[in-house]
Structure 1
């Protein structure tokens, strides 16, 4: 039986190169950005690009807690997204995945691990980095074709607008 470690290209802990990244600067402190990420009613206001919207959001901010959303499209499309929080450092870092259920059971068809990093800046703002980590080139390519760059930037623009009101 072959194992990953039999592959000469395998190196535990080595990034696989299937990441998509968005970096932005927000004129709000990390605590405010964090609030927009972890408060369901706030997340609903910005999390997916219009005309899509989030109709439901459930967030239990702890390792193993749920991070679930339901996105709805203008033509009646419904896209449920169920996941768990893998790691959480309040006001600094949030890592989620759709690969596991809250009782740590594999979901069967994982799409990505998402990581949000918030770094305070001297101007009182936040450097924001969102990374979508995929298991393979096919799922990364699928995410690109779904509109990662345009969609995640549109959502980040909506987040920036919301942050100005908080």
Structure 2
């Protein structure tokens, strides 16, 4: 798979969200790549992320456990495909560690952290394997959920995380 590069347009079955964050790219990248920070913001409002495991290398594990207010748990596992600190992270649920194919691949995420006048142009793209998966993710509330996670990320990097 060739990963799309900036300027080459959206992937075929893509959902995305973008925002200018008042923090440098290195800081926003840290909030994404260090479990102790990611657990503070990952997931929509009301959700918690009590567990996060990261092996920050290509093929390394990326696993989160999100818990809804009613106690329902969502375990997500995949691998990193690309790590270009502090500019870009790419991960997918298409594989488990050891490049073992997953039972039901759903998406690949491409997260970029572009410097813009001392701030970060944050863009998260979710690429789906099919139009129906993309539609299902949108109906699940992609924009609201990822937007609420982004609100929480902004709070972490602008108010809690030291420089």
Match of 1:24 in 2: 19
Listed one character per residue, the Cα deviations across residues 67-120 of structure 1 (whole Å, up to 9, x for unaligned) are 100000111101000010001101000000000011011112001000101111
Match of 2:54 in 1: 59
Listed one character per residue, the Cα deviations across residues 3-52 of structure 1 (whole Å, up to 9, x for unaligned) are xxxxxxxxx98975200010111000001001100111110111101211
Q: Which has the higher strand share?
A: 2
CA distance in 2, matches of 1:13, 1:88: 12
What 5-or-longer segments of structure 2 have no aligned partner? Answer: 5-9
SS at match of 1:86: strand
Q: TM-score, normalised by structure 2?
A: 0.90
Q: CA RMSD in A?
A: 1.5
Q: TM-score, normalised by structure 1?
A: 0.89
SS at match of 1:83: strand
Moved over 2 A (4+): 12-16
What 5-or-longer segments of structure 1 have no aligned partner? Answer: 1-11
CA distance in 1, matches of 2:91, 2:46: 25
Q: Which of the two has higher C-alpha Rg?
A: 1
